[in-house]
């Protein structure tokens, strides 16, 4: 009999689910808002050709534009959140498709605006901003528009580019449907064969932390093989996603997909290459960790399914309520307001969809928009790893909360580059708090294992994916084929370098790792920002924990800034310069210290 510990969606008590009724009370109201937005589009289009009539007309447009985008985001949010927790819910899937189509319609409708502002001229925009108080808030928006003007096309072309976004989402959606709904994973089994365990996106992590090596092996192989069964379809979808990035880059006159990804947030391309260079120079730290694991586990050969095997016999149980309290205590250096908002969101206001259920999509995320509170999806499993994930997503949510509270909607969204700093900052503070207050050897080992697991994902797997992503895009730009065998071989080669001689590689299964990422690799050069984020977060956390004067205030100002500053500028003000390799090198020093501590505790 299979141990089916994963409940259906209907079996999850309401208090452990997020409150999407706070967005719309029911699908009826959601449908009404969707219809209302459609009906507004002709009046929105009526602004075309009129933005240069006067400063007052421009101010009216910018207010109307922001209100439309807030409403549109709420429509997308409701549909997406509902579908994310039960990908077998076809009504929710249909609403998600409707929202996606409407978003493309809205994008096409408003596409005239930026070309029209460019035609008006930036000298005029600066003059109007200085003479009319209602336009002063848009200084950064106008500056960014001028900076991006070489890549904004005519109104006709912009409308066409907006229209293609709906069909362009098909590739990512196809990959997501296969990953979240279609794959049936074989059960894992215990060493004695007496137990079998259901393998899902929500249970995989816990199974890979099992002390039973056969459970780990069979769970890992089941998960890898489930994806490999669809490798050709998934590779075709990912190839389409990469080619779409190349198309967008060329349509907007960039020299490469990488430049197209880094130019909008004003990130120099050197930042990406600095990360990869530092990562490759420090692979020996990872090799030392794999060697430590092999010794402690007492195995002749270390395999990928051993990477999360427990290094101590005692399992640390952390119920959700305890996790929230420890996170609040860890974040105390940021002040009472920060902590009280976080605690209410996690315990009273139902920001979080907490536990795994069948059909729930993989991973964890924070999402929301102005006019709502943040929402977090995760699959909490009562362990230190879930606590860390919760801290990470609450970092995103608090960043969003303060941004939306402080900034107009046009600046409410911050860049991904900044986002991953805030999330990893929370993990760094909470981890430091627990290392100082939980002194038992078992807890210390568990904390360090969590730290290494977190770094493994963000400071090992993500740079690997970033290198993979760069190679795929460069091959697509040269017109070379992107097939499943090509992707598997490339991914296996990269991981072989990363694991060195310390881990025995299963080339086919490890080479299929790209297939596990149905979202990240469809967001043009997203993944490198996890590694820059953990680097920036570590530097800012050190300043706060060391009591550096003004560090707390500058960090909170960074959270409140939202998208009103370029991310490198906002982070430089907060206290870290991510345009240089130094923070990445410093993060590797922290990683090496964790390995030192584990060696002292275990060898």
Indicate which residues carry an active-site annotation.
393
Distance CA 226, CA 235 (A): 14
Instruction: Give SS3 for 111.
Output: coil
Distance CA 525, CA 14 (A): 37
Residue pair 30/81 in contact by the 8 Å Cβ criterion: no
To which H or E segment does residue 204 belong?
Answer: helix 204-208
* Dihedrals phi, psi of 355, to nearest 5 degrees: -105, 160
Using alpha carbons, list the distances in angstroms from residue 450 to 66, 87, 309, 312, 447. Answer: 41, 29, 11, 12, 5
Q: How many CA atoms lie within 13 A of 516 on its CB side?
A: 22
Strand 196-197: give its sheet, edge to edge: 2-3, 196-197, 188-189
Q: How many CA atoms lie within 13 A of 541 on its CB side?
A: 27
Q: How many CA atoms lie within 13 A of 220 on its CB side?
A: 21
CA angle 47, 53, 55 (to 5 degrees): 100
DSSP, residue by residue, 325-375: HHHHHHTGGG-HHHHHHHHHHHHTS--EE-S-BTTPPSS-EEE--TTS--E
Residue pair 334/555 in contact by the 8 Å Cβ criterion: yes
> Rounded to a whole number, what is the largest CA-CA distance in the chain?
79
* Dihedrals phi, psi of 224, to nearest 5 degrees: -65, -45
Using alpha carbons, list the distances in angstroms from residue 449 to 207, 310, 431. Answer: 15, 8, 11
Residue pair 222/185 in contact by the 8 Å Cβ criterion: yes
Q: Tokens for 220?
A: 């890992």
Helices (H), 282-335: 283-297, 320-330
**Nearest CA among 525, 593, 512, 591 for reference residue 281:** 591
Residue pair 436/332 in contact by the 8 Å Cβ criterion: no
Using alpha carbons, list the distances in angstroms from residue 84 to 9, 80, 255, 397. Answer: 11, 6, 36, 17
Q: Tokens for 59?
A: 């101010």
Using alpha carbons, list the distances in angstroms from residue 524 to 166, 172, 437, 458. Answer: 16, 12, 41, 17
Using alpha carbons, list the distances in angstroms from residue 228 to 137, 471, 504, 553. Answer: 51, 21, 19, 48
DSSP, residue by residue, 20-89: GGGT-SSHHHHHHHHHHHHHHHHHHHTTTT-TTS-HHHHHHHHHHHHHHHHHHHHHHHHHHHHHHT-TT-
């Amino acid at each position: 009999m299979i141990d089916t510990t994963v409940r259906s969606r209907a079996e999850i008590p309401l208090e452990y689910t997020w409150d999407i009724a706070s967005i719309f009370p029911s699908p009826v109201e959601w449908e009404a808002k969707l219809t209302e937005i459609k009906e507004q589009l002709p009046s929105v289009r009526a602004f075309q050709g009129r933005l240069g009539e006067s400063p007052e007309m421009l101010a009216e447009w910018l207010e109307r534009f922001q209100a439309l985008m807030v409403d549109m985001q709420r429509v997308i949010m409701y549909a997406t959140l509902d579908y994310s927790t039960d990908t077998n819910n076809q009504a929710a899937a249909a609403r998600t498709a409707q929202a996606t189509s409407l978003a493309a319609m809205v994008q096409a409708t408003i596409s005239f605006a930026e070309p029209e502002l460019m035609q008006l001229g930036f000298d005029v925009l600066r003059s109007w901003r200085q003479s009319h108080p209602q336009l002063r808030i848009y200084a950064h928006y106008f500056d960014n528009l001028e900076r991006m003007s070489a890549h904004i096309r005519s109104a006709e072309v912009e409308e066409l580019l907006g229209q293609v976004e709906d069909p362009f989402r098909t590739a990512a959606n196809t990959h997501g449907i296969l990953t979240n709904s279609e794959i049936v994973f074989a059960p894992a089994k215990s060493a004695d064969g007496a137990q079998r365990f259901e393998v899902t996106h929500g249970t995989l992590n816990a199974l890979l932390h099992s002390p039973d090596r056969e459970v780990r092996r069979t769970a890992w192989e089941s998960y890898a093989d489930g994806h490999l069964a669809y490798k050709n379809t998934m590779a075709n979808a990912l190839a389409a996603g990469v080619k779409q990035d190349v198309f967008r880059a060329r349509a907007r006159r960039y020299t490469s997909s990488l430049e197209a990804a880094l130019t909008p947030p004003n990130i120099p391309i050197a930042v990406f290459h600095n990360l990869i260079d530092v990562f490759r120079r420090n692979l020996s730290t990872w090799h030392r960790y794999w060697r430590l694991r092999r010794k402690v586990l007492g195995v002749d050969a270390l395999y990928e399914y051993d990477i999360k095997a427990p290094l101590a016999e005692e399992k640390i149980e952390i119920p959700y309520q305890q996790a929230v309290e420890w996170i609040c205590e860890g974040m105390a250096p940021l002040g009472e307001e920060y902590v009280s908002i976080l605690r209410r969101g996690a315990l009273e206001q139902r920001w979080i969809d907490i536990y795994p259920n069948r059909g729930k999509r993989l991973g964890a995320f924070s999402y929301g928009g102005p006019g709502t509170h943040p929402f977090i999806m995760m699959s909490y499993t009562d362990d230190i790893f879930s606590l860390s994930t919760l801290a990470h997503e609450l970092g995103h949510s608090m960043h969003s909360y303060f941004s939306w509270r402080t900034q107009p909607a046009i600046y409410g969204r911050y860049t991904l580059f900044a986002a991953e700093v805030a999330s990893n900052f929370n993990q760094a503070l909470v981890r430091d708090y627990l290392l100082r207050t939980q002194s038992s050897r078992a807890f210390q080992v568990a904390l360090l294992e969590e730290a290494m697991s977190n770094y493994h994902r963000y400071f090992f797997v993500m740079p690997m994916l970033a290198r993979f992503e760069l190679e795929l895009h460069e091959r697509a730009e040269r017109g070379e084929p992107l097939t499943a065998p090509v992707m598997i071989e490339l991914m296996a080669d990269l991981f072989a370098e990363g694991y060195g001689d310390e881990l025995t590689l299963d080339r086919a299964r490890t080479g299929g790792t790209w297939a596990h990422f149905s979202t990240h690799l469809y967001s043009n050069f997203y993944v490198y920002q996890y590694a820059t984020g953990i680097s920036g977060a570590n530097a800012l956390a050190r300043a706060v924990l060391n009591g550096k004067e003004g560090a707390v205030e500058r960090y909170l100002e960074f959270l409140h800034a939202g998208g009103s500053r370029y991310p490198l500028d906002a982070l430089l003000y907060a206290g870290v310069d991510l345009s240089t390799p130094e923070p990445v090198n410093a993060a590797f020093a922290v990683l090496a210290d964790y390995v030192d501590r584990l060696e002292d505790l275990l060898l």
